[in-house]
Amino acid sequence: MKKRNYFLIFGLLISTVVVLFILLGYFWTPYDPMKMNGAVRSSAPSLAHLMGTDKFGRDILSRVMKGAGASFFVAFGTVLIGTVVGTVVGALTGYFGGWLDEVLMRFNDALSAFPSFLLALVLVSVLGPGRRHLLLALGIVFIPSYARIVRTEFKRARSQNYVKSAQIMGAGTARILFVHILPNIWPVLLSAITIGFNNAVLAEAAMSYLGIGVSPDEASLGYMLSDSQAYLSVTPWYALGAGLVIVLLILGVGLIGEGLQRKDI
Amino acid sequence: MRYTAKKIGTLLLTLVLVSLFVFLALSNLSGDAATRLLGTEATPERLEALRTELGLDKPLPVRYVEWVAGMLRGDMGISYQYRLSVSQLIAERLRPTLSLTLMAFALIVALSIPVGVVTAKYAGGWLDRVVTVLGQLLMSVPPFFTGILFTYLFGLLLRLFVPGAFPAWEAGRMRYLGYLFFPALAIALPRVAMTVRLLRGCILDEAQKDYVRTSMARGRSRGDILYRHVLKNTLVPLITFLAMTVAELVAGSVIIEQVFSIPGLGRLLISGISNRDAPVVQAVVVLVAFWVVVCNLAGDLLGRRIDPRLRYGEGGRT
C-alpha cells in the first residue's frame, strides 16, 4: 500500500495559495495600501476589510499583500544568488579539488560556526538601506552553505562511473559538470533550496523588523510587524495579519522540503 | 591531540575572519566619524585633531592590529554615540543577554529531551504524529512574531508582565527572571522543535543497529535497551547540536531583545548599527564570535570526553 505524502500535498497546497496571493498583490489589491481613510480608523476585521484597518484607516489586507510581495522578492533573490553562485563555486572546487578547494573549505568551516544573520546585518549597514542591498547582503552570506553542500556531492560524483565514461567519451568539463552531474544531485540541491528559502524569509523579516536595510515606502512584512507592535493593544489584527502570512509562507515551503525528504526514503 | 589542535586552529580562523570582516566593513563608515561627532560646521583643524585622537589617520593594517591588541587587553575603544568606553557599555548590557540565552537553553534542554525520547519510543503513534505536525508549525513561526503574540496574550490580556518595562536585576530576582521567561520561551520554541526532530531521528537510526536486535533477542525490554544503550549513543550528536544552538541563541536574542525592550547586547548592536557607531558594532560582533567559538569547542571536547570512540578513532587513527 502506498502511503500518501501528506507533507508534500499540504506543503504544495499552502505554497500555491500564498504564491497566488502574492502574485495577485503585484497587480491588484482591494484598496490602495497607502491610502488613509479617517472614517474606518482601527476597525476590526469585517467583510469590507477582511483583516481590518490600521490606526490611519489603511486596509491591512492590501498592505499585507504588498508587503508579502516585498518579502517574497527578497527571499527569492537571495536564494537565486546563493544557489547560482554557490553551485558554481561548489561544482568547481568539488570537481577539481586542489589547494584553492582546501583554502575555500577552511574559510567555509570557519565561517559556518558564526550566525550568518549577524554577518548580513553588518553587511547591510555598510551597503546602505534599500531592498536591493538587503537582497545582496543576504545572498552573499548564504553562498557558503550552498557551496558546501554542492561541493560534497560533486566530489562524490567525480569518482563515479557515469562521470568517468563521460570523460572517456570526450565530453567537455562544462558539459560534465552541468549536464551530467548537476541533474544527479538535484534532489539534494532542492532540499537545500527549501531550507535556504525559509532561512531567507526569516532573515529578511527579522532584518526589516529591526529596521535595518528598509525604506518605509517598500514596507515588507517584518517592517509591518514592528509598525504594528506600537498599536498592539488597539489593532492586534494588524500584527496577526502580517505574521500569519510569514508563517504560511515558511510553513508551506517547509512542508514541501519535509515531504521531498520523505519521498526519497 | 592532533584533532584538538586542528579544531582550535579552525576556531581561531573564525575569530580572525569575523574580526577582519567586521573591521574592514565598518572602517569605511568610521571615516566620517569625526564629522559626525563634531557636526558639519567644525573647523578642518579640529576634525583633523579628532581623527588623530581616534587613530583614524593611520593606515588600515596598523589600525586593525592596534584594535585587536586593544581587544585582547580588554580595551575596546570609545563609543562614538555615547562617548563612553565600549567595555563599560558592554559590561552593563551583558547580564540580560546572558540570562536570556541561558534561560532559553535551559528551556530547550528541559522540553526537547523528554519529548524527543517519548516520540521516538512511540514512533508512528498518534502522539508522534501530533508532535511532528506541531514541530513543523513551531519551526515556521519566527521568534519575534511569537514574541509579539506573547506580548499581546500574556502581557496585554493576562497582565502577567508589563511589556516594555524591563525590571532591573536589583528590583528582585523573581521579577527579573519572570519578565525574561517569555522572550526566552519565544526563542526556545523553534529550537525545541528542531532538537526534538534531531533526537527522534538519532534514536530511530540507532534502534536499527544490530546490537539492539541482539539485545531484543536476548529478551531485554525495549525500555531497558532505550535508556541503557541507545540514548548513550545519541548523546554525542545531541551535544554537538546543542552547542551550536547556544551559539546561535545569541543571534536570536538580538531580535527578541528589540521585541521586549530588553537592554542587552542586541539592542546595543542595533543602535550601534543605526548610528554607525563602528567601535560598538565591532566589539559586539567579535564578542559574539568569541562566544560561538567557545561554545563549539566546549561541545566538541565534551563529546570526545563522553565517547571514547571519538578519542581513539574507530579505525585506530585519530
Q: Which of B27, B140, B187, B246 to mutate to test the interface with A (most CBs of A within 10 A)?
A: B140
Sign of CA dihedral A58, A59, A62, A68: positive
Q: Residue-wise pLDDT tens for chain B (318 aa)?
A: 677 788 888 888 888 888 888 888 887 665 566 666 666 677 777 777 777 777 777 777 888 888 888 888 888 888 878 878 888 889 889 999 999 999 999 999 999 999 999 998 888 889 988 998 899 999 999 999 999 999 999 988 888 888 888 888 887 888 888 899 999 999 999 999 999 999 999 998 888 888 888 888 888 887 788 877 888 888 888 998 999 898 889 888 989 999 999 999 999 999 888 888 888 998 999 999 888 888 988 888 888 888 877 777 554 443
Q: Residue A178: pLDDT above 90?
A: no
Confidence of residue A1 (pLDDT cuts 50, 70, 90): very low
Query: How near does any CA of chain B get to the CA of A202, in Å?
Result: 6
Q: Tens digits of per-residue pLDDT, A199-231?
A: 999 998 998 888 887 776 677 888 888 888 888
pLDDT of residue A76: 92
**Contact between chains at A113 and B139 (C-beta distance less than 8 A):** no
Percent helix, strand, coil in chain B, to 5, is 80, 0, 20
Confidence of residue A42 (pLDDT cuts 50, 70, 90): confident
Q: B6: Cβ–Cβ under 8 A, 6 or more apart, which residues?
A: none
Phi–psi pair at B205, nearest 5 degrees: -60, -45
Structural element, H or E, at residue B305: helix B278-306
Domains, chain B, with CATH or none: 95-311 (1.10.3720.10)
Instruction: Tell me the chain B residues in contact with residue A9 when contact means C-beta distances shorter than 8 Å.
Output: none
Q: Which three cell numbers stand for residue A127?
A: 551597503
Pairwise CB contact (< 8 Å): B289 & A250: no
Residue of chain B minimizing CA distance to A213:
B274
Here the ipTM equals 0.88
Pairwise CB contact (< 8 Å): A225 & B144: yes
CA-nearest residue to B24 within chain A is: A126
Q: Closest Cα to residue A259, out of B207, B133, B238?
A: B133
Summarised one tens digit per residue, pLDDT across range A53-69 is 877 778 888 888 988 98
Answer yes or no: do B136 and A121 touch at CB < 8 A. no
Residues of A in Cβ contact (< 8 Å) with B144: 205-206, 209, 225
Using a CB-CB cut-off of 8 Å, the residues of chain B touching A111 are 14, 17-18
The predicted structure's pLDDT at residue A255 = 92
CA distances from B232 to B36, B235, B307 (A): 58, 5, 9
B148 vs B145: CA distance, rounded Å: 5
Domains of chain A with bracketed CATH: 71-244 (1.10.3720.10)
Query: How much is the mean pLDDT over chain A?
Result: 85
The answer to whether the CB atoms of A243 and B145 lie below 8 A apart is yes
Query: Quick check: A171 contacting B, CB < 8 Å?
Result: no
Chain B hits for A128, CB-CB cut-off 8 Å, are none
Q: How far is CA B302 from the centre of its chain?
A: 18
Contact: B142, A239; criterion CB under 8 Å? no
